[in-house]
Structure 1
């Protein structure tokens, strides 16, 4: 018995990615990085400025950045010149240099009242969360 060739049935709904830009985002250009830094400085947002500066210069993954502890960047009351973090994905240590600008922004963040007695460098806003999430 022969089956007739029927036309293919197509869904009438549009594709999920129609009109969207998908794939990897382009890297930030230096002028965009400086524009973000200036806006964060003008807003007086010490946490976000320190987080952004450390993220750009350390090139750590977001999950490793939010899990950083105060002892990773601070020793005997001073910000270290170099820090070492164990990556959660590869379990390999990553060493990076902390420049003067980052040390200044981290020092301003450490003086904030929210940081008193905090174990994590980026503490969460709620008591059940020890550190901020990658989506916050």
Structure 2
């Protein structure tokens, strides 16, 4: 129910984002990625390890990660080196690589999960034929982050999407390559995504000798 502008309670309502850290979520650093992998392995969370590795390598949005089907990753009893997924937001296909570590974990999970190539890789808790919800995915990411001692306010599912792309950008400064990997339709989106500023530009210039 709403409030009248004359209601005393209106002036007592707290802003929805008071005390919360909103906006862009931080990318994970390389050592944090391995810390989460170690934590998941230690707790024998095979599904979560496969979900984490897929999210890192694919650089997909959360809504796309949870909708991946087994046939999108595996064929002929092996996990593909590269996969192609149509993004929900843009309706455009994006290709991504799966590193050896991720392929091994995903294969182990698919063997454990069973089912057909048309089944979702990560099923829902309530309906095994449906995919995991984005809310459940977000809760899992929160658990992982807390598990290695990071503040959960600064991280989310988008942190996983940003992680590998951020590492690639820091190493190469190649925005065009990162744009392709993220499936952005415009380079402007990639610029805003990484918050490219004067400091970044100067660092790149200092590394370039003519």
User: If the length of structure 2 is used for normalisation, what is the TM-score?
Assistant: 0.55
**In the TM superposition, what is the alpha-carbon distance from 1:128 to its structure 2 partner?**
7.0
Q: Which has the larger radius of gyration?
A: 1
Superposed counterparts of 1:110-125, under 5 Å: 110-112=110-112, 115-118=113-116, 119-125=119-125
- Greater helix share, structure number: 2
The question of 1:132 aligning with 2:132 is answered yes
Q: Aligned residue for 1:11?
A: 11
TM-score of the pair, normalised by structure 1: 0.83
Partners of 1:23 and 1:111 lie apart in 2 by 38
Q: Structure 1 unaligned runs (5+)?
A: 1-8
More RCO (CA 8 Å, sep 6+): 2
- Partners of 1:55 and 1:94 in 2: CA distance: 14
CA RMSD of aligned residues (A): 1.9
- Correspondence for 1:23: 23
1:17 deviates by: 3.3
Deviations 1:13-44 (A, max 9, x none): 54443333222222211121111111001111
CA distance in structure 2 between the partners assigned to 1:102 and 1:125 by the alignment: 23
How many angstroms apart in 2 are the aligned matches of 1:15 and 1:130? 36
Aligned residues: 126
Partners in 2 of 1:13 and 1:78 — Cα distance?
Answer: 55
